Amino acid sequence: MIAAETPIRTLVLDERGFLAWIDRAAPGERVAYHEGHLVCDRAPRISPFAEPARCELDRVAGLAMTLADNGHLLLAQGRVAEDRVAYFAIMATRRTVKGGRQ
């Protein structure tokens, strides 16, 4: 299937949209913040994204990781095609502690 094999070259969620989601998300709600291969897509010189989009993705992913480290978000991923992964941020509940354990 062509659609499953074609990499997405646009951002799923920009920093502004991610911050807006954080402000209004209830515990347990999730949002997909990227689809592709996050490590490669964030990396200079090998990312398929134009530099401004790559930098935006890097900021969103960095923010997600910082908020997860502080216990505000849980991060998850799921394969959507053989060569593509969806990356999710899930708003933590009050009972969730750092590291995702309850």
Residue ranges per domain, the chain?
2-91
Residue 52 has pLDDT above 90, yes or no: yes
How is the chain split among helix, strand and coil, in percent rounded to 5? 35, 25, 40
Q: How many CB atoms lie within 10 A of CB 97?
A: 10
pLDDT score for 11? 86
pLDDT score for 8? 53
The pLDDT confidence band at residue 96, using thresholds 50, 70 and 90, is: low
pLDDT score for 98? 53
C-beta of residue 100 within 8 angstroms of C-beta of residue 72: no
Residue 102 has pLDDT above 90, yes or no: no
Residue 5 has pLDDT above 80, yes or no: no
From residue 89, alpha-carbon distances to 22, 52, 72, 96 in Å are 9, 22, 10, 14
Show the tokens assigned to 102.
Answer: 């309850």
> CA-to-CA distance for 18 and 15, rounded, in angstroms?
5
- Which is more confidently placed, 4 or 76? 76
Q: Which residue has the tokens 């347990």?
A: 28
Q: What percent of the chain has pLDDT over 90?
A: 76
